[in-house]
Amino acid sequence: MSDSGFAVKLEGVTKRFGKHTAVSDFDFEVPRGVICGLLGPNGSGKTTTIRMIMGILHPDEGRVSLFGSDPDVTRRTKVGYLPEERGLYKKMKVLELLTFLAEIRGLRRSEGRRRASDWLERLGLTAWADKRAEDLSKGMQQKVQFIGTVLHEPELLILDEPFSGLDPINQDVLEGIVREYHAKGATILFSTHLMHQAERLCERVCMISNAKKVLDADLKELKIAERKGVVAVEFEGPDSWIYGPEVDHVEEVNGALHLILREGADHQMILARGVQSEARILRFDLVEPTLHEIFVRHAGAEAVGDAGMPPAANAGLA
């Protein structure tokens, strides 16, 4: 089963609901040991894709494999899954609930109980172990759900919008745990519509828009490859020099202006114009575009809609 370097592999997967195509001819691979973000606005097909990986939905066409073999065999012991719509047995005590979840993943009860206690302690929930799930705050419930996902120490974590509904502090806590878990060698696939989260966490990103894959790449390579496209400038004086045939449009980010260049344009031309103008240039800087900018570049602004965060707010949070 270790004959495959991929934790997840989708080949030509298509899923339709009636006349609506939720996922269309989707090829997608997650190499072992990476953190991969599945990005896209609401309704783009992220959850449907994840549900097909988890065997909750069956693709109309195409094939899903996990660790190079039949997903139905590997799923139970090797995969931890946090669904988008969270749920717990409300009347159950937290520790018992976690023990049960460990048990159905094939752990012995005593072992499951021990690991659950450890995790509760790590996340500061020990005092709540004997409380009913319904008595916990939403943030605490989400932590409990996350514990339920990792109890059996899966090699692959699949998290559907893991950060939604968490306050910034708990987002950081969860992010820390995900990193730590990844450091042990696990593969992590998570979906999000929060680009800045993906930008901080991912090694690999896959973007989907309107049921189709628009981008699938290593984040570092992607950023280098996309770097040519954006120039950050700060200057005093007239601004007419920044507009030219090379520039597609201009955005303001953190007080600086980002010049978004057209494909194949040379930034040197702009710099030359600037030097000749009466403006005093304080900064001329090729910047890494934000994931949001990359996404817009590939999917078109209309595809993002109101789901992706605007770059300014994005940068502010990051």
Partner 1 sequence: MWHNVWAVIRREYLQRVRSKWFIGVTIAAPIIMIAMIVVPVYLASRGNQSDRDLLIVDGSDVLYERLVSDLEAGGYSVAEERWRVDVVTDLRQRASDGDIGGFLVLDQLTLETGEAVLYTNDRPSTVRRLTLRSAIARAALEYQLEVRGFDASAMLAVGELQIEMLVDEGSDTDDPQFFVAYLGTMFLYMVILIYAVSVMRATLEEKTSRIVEVIISSMKPWHLMLGKIVGVGAVSLTQIAVWMFMGVLGVGAGIPMLIAARPELASLENVLQVLPGLSLLLLFVGFFLFGFFMYSGLYAAVGAMCSTDEEAQQAQFPVMMVLIVPILFVTQAIQDPLAPLVTGLSLFPLFSPVLMWARVAGGGVPGWQIGLSFVLMGLTVFAVAWLAGRIYKVGILMAGKRPSLPELWRWVREA
| Whole-number Å distance between alpha carbons of 299 and 318 | 23
C-beta closer to partner 1: residue 132 or 228: 132
User: Taking the CB of residue 63, how many other CB atoms lie within 10 A of it?
Assistant: 11
CB–CB of 13/52 below 8 Å?
yes
Shortest distance in whole angstroms from residue 76 CB to partner 1: 5
C-beta closer to partner 1: residue 106 or 176: 106
Q: Residue 1, class by beta-carbon neighbours within 10 Å (0-12 exposed, 13-18 middle, 19+ buried)?
A: exposed
C-beta closer to partner 1: residue 52 or 219: 52
Beta bridge partner(s), residue 205: 37, 217
Shortest distance in whole angstroms from residue 199 CB to partner 1: 28
Please report, as ranges, the residues that interact with partner 1 according to CB under 8 A.
54-57, 75-76, 79, 81, 83, 85-92, 96, 100-101, 103-106, 148-149
Listed residue (102, 197, 111) closest to 154, CA to CA: 102
Q: Residue 28, class by beta-carbon neighbours within 10 Å (0-12 exposed, 13-18 middle, 19+ buried)?
A: buried
Shortest distance in whole angstroms from residue 106 CB to partner 1: 7
C-beta closer to partner 1: residue 149 or 290: 149
Shortest distance in whole angstroms from residue 120 CB to partner 1: 18
Shortest distance in whole angstroms from residue 104 CB to partner 1: 5
C-beta closer to partner 1: residue 104 or 272: 104
| Whole-number Å distance between alpha carbons of 223 and 208 | 18
